[in-house]
Amino acid sequence: MTAPSTFGLSSEARNLHWLLTNLVEEVPGIQSVAVVSSDGLLLLSSDPGRNDAARQSMEAKPTGPRGSAADLATIVSGIGSLTIGAAKLMEFGGVKHTMVAMDEGSLFVMSISDGSLLGVHGSADCDMNVVAYHMALFVGRAGHVLTPELRTELRKSLESETAGSSR
């Protein structure tokens, strides 16, 4: 994984980038990670460069859904909305996490704070308990720092990175 540039970011944003990088590198079977705001916008990704067409053409096989961090963010946002709606309809309280096991991989979605979500795409052989445990650690460490100001900073950073890679 190539770590995104954290030059010029606040210490909180750099720490969040570090936590995300550490999650991907330390937990076997994690292929991609996305942090999504409550309104569905990608805030942080394990591989924001995946939106770069030149890099996609050089990769033998993308490791995330359709090879795009934005695709993972869209999926995470949709699953988050669906499960929140179901919980409200069933009057079971808030959604803590959702796990989807598929033949060729797994998808994990966990609430961070005020509607923000952590989404993880795991390989078919990942240990779901280990992934969920490390996601909970990430949420515990990141939840209190993910303020509206930090979300704005992360979004702007991601937008400028995307604009720079499309040139």
Report which of residues 29 and 47 the model is more confident about.
29
pLDDT digits (tens, 9 = 90+) for 75-99: 999 999 999 999 999 998 988 899 9
Domains delineated in the chain? 29-165 (3.30.450.30)
Q: pTM score > 0.85 for this model?
A: no
pLDDT at res. 5: 59
**Sheet of 105-111, strands arranged across:** 42-45, 30-36, 117-123, 105-111, 97-102
Confidence band, pLDDT 50/70/90 cuts, at residue 166: low
For residue 64, pLDDT over 50 is answered with no
CA 143, 144, 150, 151 dihedral sign is positive
* Distance set, CA 26 to CA 3, 21, 59, 83 (Å): 14, 8, 22, 28
